[in-house]
Structure 1
Amino acid sequence: MLVRFWGTRGSLAVAQTAGAIRGKIARALVAAGGRGFADTAEAEAFVDRELDFATGGTYGGATTCVEIEGGDGSFIVCDMGTGLREFGIDAFRRCAAGHERTYHFFMSHLHWDHIGGFPFFGPAFDPNAHIVIHSGHADAEQALRRQQEEISFPVAFDWLRAKIEFRTLAPGETYRIGGLDVEVMEQHHSHKSYGYRFTDDAGKTAIFSTDSEHKIDSMEGEADVAHFFRDADLVICDTMYSLADAVSMKEDWGHSSNIVAIDLCHEAEAKRLALFHHEPIYSDDDIQRMHQESIRYEELTRRETPLEVLCAYDGLEVRL
């Protein structure tokens, strides 16, 4: 199983500002200490070897879109955030090389940051494509059609040429979709959200659980979540806020913290956690700092089995 992250921000797509790029360049020049580089390859090797990620790279700004590869050859995609546009471009490339043109989408929920990439999804205009949209929400079709009404977007939903189906999934059931076993969990969020558990034939399991609020002062009520995460090889979890933000300014906003995610994964004895759905106002430095703090917290609270803490970024690939 291979997991690709095409969009990792929450709430709103963001772009690097000129000031942020300028700061990265300045820090890189200071780190170089006057050294010269013979060519671009040598300079890139310096970036990879000596710069921290927040200086030499970026966590990205596209909203939620994650691909899971490892089923029957069809595309498996979680959510339709703005990262879906880049996925669609890459899917065209793979389909030209013979990849099957079936797309299974699994929707956490229907807020704008999770559906806003669909009007820009190139394969939706491919008459040979088959798109199946799975959701716990019976009104998923209504939401996608509404965002392409003329008042909001110039291309109507009915102008799309792919074959598009909507299927409603129920929590507590196990479905065989795209060569994977899929389980569904209802989560605490406005208009509800749903988490998904994907297991391939080799027994590898990836969890997609975003836009769900787990409160540090009521963890005794999260046993069902820990069970859903049980023994997972990778848990992609909503860690939008620091614990301080989650319990002070943004309680009941429908999102969770890095600390709570680590506690849940420890309880579940999961192997890896990917911090995900990054707050749009957090800079690369802010996210990197949260990642480092998360690694330290995991070490301090570790039980028998270590939990590897990753920080998702646009373009990250994780092989299970």
Structure 2
Amino acid sequence: MLVRFWGTRGSLPVAPRARVIEDKLTNALMRASGRSFADEAAARAFINDELSFGEGHTYGGATTCLELEGADDSFFILDMGSGLRELGNDAFRRIAQQGRSRTYNFFMSHLHWDHIMGFPFFGPAFDPGAHIIIHSGHADCEAALRRQQEEISFPVAFDWLRAKIEFKVLTPGETHVVDGVEVELMPQDHSHVSYAWKFRKDGKTLVFSTDAEHRMEDIEDKEAFETFFDKADLVICDTMYSLAESITLKADWGHSSNVMAVNLCHGAGVKKLALFHHEPTSSDADIDNLFDETVRYEALNRKDRTPLEIVCSYDSLELEI
């Protein structure tokens, strides 16, 4: 299975201001210390080998949207954040070039605006030959999507969409098979409830768990999520805050920390953890620091466990599992 990250921010989309780009360029020039580069490849090598990811790139600013390749035929899309617009445009390209199916299976963590705001801009929703199936644990999923396209909020009504659109409410705790992939969902602690999703195919397991608050003292929650994460090849986890933030100023805000993600993945024997749902006020340098802190914490608390590989998600990242 291949996972593509089209949007990795939480709460609202963000974009770097002009001064941020200027600061990045200034820092790179200072780090280059007057050296010249023989060609573009050498310049890129400097960026990739000698600068941190946040110095030479950006984690991006689109809200939650991922794609899973591995289904028998259809597109598998996790959440409808602002990253969905670009995914839709790329889907048109792949359909034209590769003859891909025009069936789109969506799996919704929850219905807060940052996770549905991309749907009115999803090009395939206007394709009369497209078939969109929206899987959710929420019975009010259709109501939420229709409401954001009411005239007071958006100029294009939901009923103007031309794709065939279906809504399916799935039951937590059961295994559902969607286009050759085994799918499970589990409720999480978040306003109006969010759901973690597990996808299994060909012996590989992906868990997508965003917008969930995990507390150090909640043993029942710990045991439940360690069971759900058990031996997953990849867990994409809400790490919006540091531990200090999650237990002080931002306690009960519905999000978790890098430390809790590592603890749960250690307990579950997970192979790889992707830090996800980045705080919108965090700069690229802030996210770099959170990533470095998480890697250090994992190493210090690994004990006799197999090392947990940690990656920090960014818009356009692709991970093979």
For normalisation by structure 2, the TM-score amounts to 0.98
Structure 2 partner of 1:62: 62
Alpha carbons of structure 1 residues 221 and 162: separation in structure 2 relative to 1, 3 Å: closer
Q: Is the 8 A contact 2:171 2:185 kept in 1?
A: yes
Name 1:271's counterpart in structure 2: 271
User: Partner of 2:315 in structure 1?
Assistant: 314
Aligned to 1:124: 125
Q: Contact conserved, 2:274 with 2:313, CA < 8 A, in 1? A: yes
The whole-number CA distance in structure 1 between the counterparts of 2:221 and 2:274 is 23
Q: Shift of residue 220 of structure 1?
A: 4.8
Alignment correspondent of 1:33: 33
Distance 1:152 1:206 in 2: 35
What does residue 230 of structure 2 align with?
230
Match of 1:137 in 2: 138
Following the alignment from structure 1 to structure 2, what is the Cα–Cα distance between the partners of residues 207 and 13? Answer: 24
Give the structure 1 partner of residue 86 of structure 2: 86
Does structure 1 retain, via aligned residues, the 8 Å contact 2:76–2:105?
yes
SS where residue 240 of structure 1 aligns?
A: coil
The answer as to whether partners of 1:132 and 1:166 remain within 8 angstroms in 2 is yes
Alignment-derived partner of residue 280 in structure 1:
280
Once the two structures are aligned, what percentage of the paired residues are identical? Answer: 64
Cα distance, 1:304 vs structure 2: 1.9
Deviations 1:183-225 (A, max 9, x none): 110111000000100001x110000000010012224542111
Q: CA deviation at 1:37?
A: 2.7
Contact 1:272 1:309 in 2 (8 A): yes
Which aligned pairs between 1:1-320 and structure 2 lie closer than 5 A?
1-97=1-97, 98-200=99-201, 202-302=202-302, 303-320=304-321
What is the deviation of 1:21? 0.9
Aligned residue identity for 1:247 = I
**SS of 1:110's equivalent?**
coil
What is the CA-CA distance between 1:283 and the residue it aligns to?
0.5
Separation (CA, whole Å) in 1 of partners of 2:166 and 2:139: 12
User: Could you list the per-position Cα deviations for residues 115-145 of structure 1 after superposition, in whole angstroms to 9, with x for gaps in the alignment?
Assistant: 0000000010111110000000000000000
SS in 1 for 2:252: coil
Report if the CA contact (8 A) 1:6-1:87 is conserved: yes
Q: Secondary structure at the match of 1:216?
A: coil
Query: 1:26 is paired with a residue of what secondary structure?
Result: helix
Deviation at 1:250, TM superposition (A): 0.5
- Please identify runs of 4+ aligned residues in structure 1 that moved more than 4 A: none
Q: Residue 218 of structure 2: SS of its match in structure 1?
A: helix
For 1:282 and 1:119, locate their aligned partners in 2 and report how far apart those are by CA, in whole Å: 27
| Inter-partner Cα distance in structure 1 for 2:219 and 2:266 | 12
Report the more deviating stretch, 38-47 or 274-283: 38-47
The amino acid across from 1:118 in the alignment is F
Contact 2:214–2:221 at 8 Å: present in 1 too?
no
* Contact residue 76 and residue 178 of structure 1 kept, 8 A: no
Q: Specify the SS of the correspondent of 2:92.
A: helix
Helix, strand or coil for the counterpart of 2:77?
A: strand
1:92 Cα deviation (Å)? 0.5
The answer to whether the Cα contact below 8 Å between 2:6 and 2:84 also exists between their aligned partners in 1 is yes
- Look up the SS of the partner of 2:22 in the other structure: helix
SS at match of 2:142: helix
Normalised to the residue count of structure 1, the TM-score between the two structures is 0.98
Report deviation, 1:315.
0.5
Tell me the secondary structure at the aligned position of residue 171 of structure 1: coil
Q: CA RMSD in A?
A: 0.9
Amino acid at match of 2:27: R
Is the 2:266–2:305 Cα contact (8 Å) retained in structure 1? no
Cα drift, residue 44 of structure 1: 2.0
The one-letter amino acid of 1:36's match is S
CA distance in 2 between counterparts of 1:304 and 1:109 reads: 33
CA drift of 1:41 comes to 3.5
Letter in 2 for 1:145: R
SS of the residue 2:217 aligns to? helix
